[in-house]
Structure 1
Amino acid sequence: MASESTTARDQDAVPDGPAEAGPSARGPRSRSTSGYLRYVAGKLAGAAVSLFAVLVTSFFLFRLIPGDPVKAMTGGRQVSSEQIRAMREEFGLDLPMWQQFTDYCGKALTGDLGTSYQFKAPVVDKISEALPATLLLTGTAFVLYTLIGIWLGSRSAWRHGRFGDRFNTAFALTLYSVPSFWLGLLLIIVLSVGIGPIPGMFPTGGMESGGESGFGYVIDVAHHLILPVITLVAVEYARTLLVMRSSLLDEMGSDYLTTARAKGLRDDEVRTKHAVPNALLPTVTLLFVNLGNTVAGAILVETVFSWPGLGGLFYQALSVPDLPLVQGLFFVFAAAVILMNTLADLIYPLLDPRVGR
C-alpha cells in the first residue's frame, strides 16, 4: 500500500505537458535585471541630489566674492545713485537674498541660468558659444592621453622592474605633480617666444590668427591647439598610466595567462589579447572620471593660452564679478564631473557583473 501511495504521488508530481516558464524559470535573470535597475535608480537619485547641491553652492559661494558687480559694470565712471539703483533693480540685486535664491533655482530648473551682467546676453547662450572650443581642446587631449597612458601603462607593467618601467613611472609622476599653468607658461617661453637656439615655433595664444578659410583655417587652429593640448596631456596621462599599470600587475599572476602561454601564444599576444582587456575595467572607470575632470580642469590652461573656451570665459566673469555667468559656468563644470562619474557607475556593472548585485 505504501508503495502504491508513493507511486501515485510521483505520478501526480509529473506534469502532463511541457513546463511553463514561470517565475522560478526566469528568476535569476529577473532578479539580475531588477537589481541593476535599483542600482541605476540609486545612482541617478544620487546624481540629482549632487546637482541640486551644486546649484545651491554656486549661488551662495560666489556671493562671498568681494566687489560690487554694478560698480564693476560702470567701469569707474561717475554715475548717479538713481542709475545705480535702476541697474540693481534690472538685475534683481535689490531683492532679499532668499528671493534671489528662489528665483535663481526656479529659473535654473527650466534651463534659464540668468543674464550676464557684462555681456547683456543669456548665460546659456554665452556657454553655448564657448563650449565647442573647450570640447575641441579637452576632447583632443582626452584621446591622446588615454591612448598614451594605456599603452605606456601596459608596457611598463609587462616589464615591471626594468629601466623603462622605472623611467616611465618616475617621469609620469613628475609631470603629474607640475602645476598646469606653470607648465603652460614654460612651453610659451620656450616654444612660442623662443629661448637661446630654440626659435619660437608656435603662437602664444588664441585659437586662430584670422584671415584663413577652408583647409587653411583647419591648419591654423591645429597650430594654435598644439601647446595647450601638450600641457593637458602631460599633466593628465600619468593617472591613466598608473592605474593601467597597477591593474595589469594584478592580472599577471592569473592562471589564464599561464594557460595562454602553455598553448604557445607569443608574449605580445598574451598581453594584448588576454591580459590587457581584463585589466581595462578600472581604467575605463577612470577614463570617464578623467573626462569630466578635464573639462573642469581646463580653466587654467585656457586662461594661460587665451583659448576662447569655457575656462577663459570663467576667468573673465570672475574678474567682474559677473555672478550669473560665474554661477552658470561653475554649475556646468561641476555637472560635467558628476555626470561622468554617474555614467562610469552605470557602465561598470555591464563590464563586471559582480558590481551592482
Structure 2
Amino acid sequence: MAADTASTPAEAAGPVPAGPAAGRPRARSWTGYLRYGAGKLGGAVVSLLAVLVTGFFLFRLIPGDPVRTLTGGRQVSAEQLDEYRREFGLDLPLWEQFTDYCGKALTGDLGTSYQFHAPVIDKITEALPNTLLLTGTAFVLYTALGMYLGTRSAWRHGRLGDRLHTGLALTLYSVPSFWLGLLLIIVFSVGLGPVPGLFPTGGMESGGEEGFGYVLDVAHHLVLPVITLVAVEYGQTLLVTRSALLDEMGSDYLTTARAKGLRDDLVRRRHAVPNALLPTVTLVFVNLGRTVAGVILVETVFSWPGLGGLFYQALSVPDLPLVQGLFLFFAAAVIVMNTLADLLYPLLDPRVGR
C-alpha cells in the first residue's frame, strides 16, 4: 500500500521535526553545536556562582542566633557564648566569613554542621538515598501518567475525557502539597469514619524488620507521600504535554501522514508526539533536578528522613553551613538538569540554537 512507501518526510525519517527542520543533528555543524553548548555551560557556571553568593547572604537574614538555639535555653555565660561563636567562625567579619565560605565551597568543602558536628557533605550523602527513593519513585509515576494522559487528552481534545482529565489536573495542581499530605494522613493513617487507618503516619520504617520484610515495611511507609507527590505534580506534565501536542496537530506533515493512509494512532505515536517533546523535555529535566533536591514540605509532613526534612531542621536553628550547603546542592541539581535539557534540544530539533 502507498502508506508503506517512504515518499514523504513523515515516513522517510520516522518522527521528524515539523516545518523546515526535516533533518537530524547532522544538518547542523558540530562547530555550531559546540559553540551553542559552550554558551550554555558558561551560563550554568555563572548561575552556580550567583547561587553561591546569594546563599551566603540570604540565610544570614534569618532571625535567630544559632549559638543560643544550640544551647537549648540553658544558662550559659557570655564567655561560653563567645567561645561557641569562635568555634563556628561567627566572630569573624562578614567579608572574611564570605571569602572563607566561597573558597572552601569551590573545593568541595561545604563546612561543618553546627547541630550535628559533622561535615555537611556527609549529611547530604547520608540523606540523599532516602530522598531519591521517595521523589524518584514519584517522578517516574507522575511523569509517565502526565505524558500518557496529556497525549490522549490532546488527541481527543474537547471531548468528555479531555475535560475531566484537564479539570482534575488543574484542581490537584493548585492544591498545596502539605495540605493534601495532611488530609491523606487524617483519612488513611488515623482513620476517618468507616475508613480504618491503613498506613503509617510518618517515618521511613517501623524498625525491627530485616530482608524482604524491611522492603515491604519501607514500601508501606512510601505509599502516602508518593501518592501526595504524584497527585500534585502529574497535572503540570499533563498540561504541558497536551498544550505542546495541540500546537503540532495542525501541521502539514501530519496531514500528509494521514493522507497516505496511516492509522490515527500511528500518526500520533510516530510523528506528532516526538515533535511535541521540547517543552515536555524541559519540564522533565527540571522535575528531575527537583527529584534530587527533594520536596521539603512533603518530607516534613511525613517525617521522611531525606534532604527536605534535613533542610527544615537546618532552617529551624539556623544551621548556616548546613542550610547553605543544601541550598547550593538543590540549586546545582536544577541548574545541571536544565543545562542537560538545553544540550539535548539540538539533538531533538536542529533548529534550536541556530
2:221 counterpart residue number: 224
Match of 1:189 among 171, 174, 186: 186
Q: Where do residues 44-63 of structure 1 align in structure 2 (5 Å cutoff)?
A: 44-63=41-60
One-letter code aligned to 2:90:
L
Report deviation, 1:119: 0.4
Corresponding residue SS for 1:93: coil
Report deviation, 1:310: 0.3
Q: Any conservation in 1 of the 2:173–2:235 contact (CA below 8 Å)?
A: yes
Match of 1:321 among 315, 318, 322: 318
1:67 counterpart residue number: 64
Corresponding residue SS for 1:54: helix
Distance 1:264 1:100, change over 3 A: same
Aligned-partner Cα distance in 2 for 1:56–1:281: 32
Report deviation, 1:31: 7.2
2:134 counterpart residue number: 137
Corresponding residue SS for 1:199: coil
Q: Where do residues 244-259 of structure 1 align in structure 2 (5 Å cutoff)?
A: 244-259=241-256
Q: 1 or 2 for the larger relative contact order (CA 8 Å, sep ≥6)? A: 2
Aligned-partner Cα distance in 1 for 2:330–2:139: 16
Please say which of residues 76-85 and 234-243 is displaced more in the overlay.
Answer: 76-85
Distance 1:172 1:249, change over 3 A: same
- Asked whether 1:80 is paired with 2:77, we answer yes
1:38 counterpart residue number: 35
RMSD of Structure 2 on Structure 1 (CA): 1.6
- Asked whether 1:174 is paired with 2:171, we answer yes
- Asked whether 1:299 is paired with 2:293, we answer no
1:241 counterpart residue number: 238
Structure 2, unaligned runs of 5 or more: 1-24
Instruction: Describe the superposition over 1:99-136 as per-residue Cα deviations: whole angstroms up to 9, x where unpaired.
Output: 00000000001110100000000000001000001111
1:13 counterpart residue number: none
1:262 counterpart residue number: 259
Match of 1:101 among 79, 85, 98: 98
Aligned-partner Cα distance in 2 for 1:258–1:352: 20
Distance 1:31 1:204, change over 3 A: closer
1:332 counterpart residue number: 329
2:155 counterpart residue number: 158
One-letter code aligned to 2:351:
R
Aligned-partner Cα distance in 2 for 1:135–1:102: 32
Report deviation, 1:266: 2.6
Q: Any conservation in 1 of the 2:44–2:335 contact (CA below 8 Å)?
A: yes
Aligned-partner Cα distance in 1 for 2:96–2:335: 27
- What TM-score, normalized by structure 2, do the two folds share? 0.90
One-letter code aligned to 1:121:
A
Q: Point out the structure with max Rg over C-alpha.
A: 1
Instruction: Describe the superposition over 1:239-283 as per-residue Cα deviations: whole angstroms up to 9, x where unpaired.
Output: 111111111112222233333333333322222222222222321
- Asked whether 1:350 is paired with 2:347, we answer yes
Report deviation, 1:297: 5.8
Structure 1, unaligned runs of 5 or more: 1-27
- Asked whether 1:111 is paired with 2:95, we answer no
Please say which of residues 290-299 and 313-322 is displaced more in the overlay.
Answer: 290-299
Instruction: Describe the superposition over 1:9-43 as per-residue Cα deviations: whole angstroms up to 9, x where unpaired.
Output: xxxxxxxxxxxxxxxxxxx9797211111111111
Corresponding residue SS for 2:304: coil
One-letter code aligned to 1:131:
L
- What TM-score, normalized by structure 1, do the two folds share? 0.89
Report deviation, 1:294: 4.2
Instruction: Describe the superposition over 1:76-115 as per-residue Cα deviations: whole angstroms up to 9, x where unpaired.
Output: 1112222212111111111100000000000001110100
Distance 1:31 1:350, change over 3 A: closer
Q: Any conservation in 1 of the 2:296–2:308 contact (CA below 8 Å)?
A: yes
Corresponding residue SS for 2:276: helix
Aligned-partner Cα distance in 1 for 2:139–2:68: 40
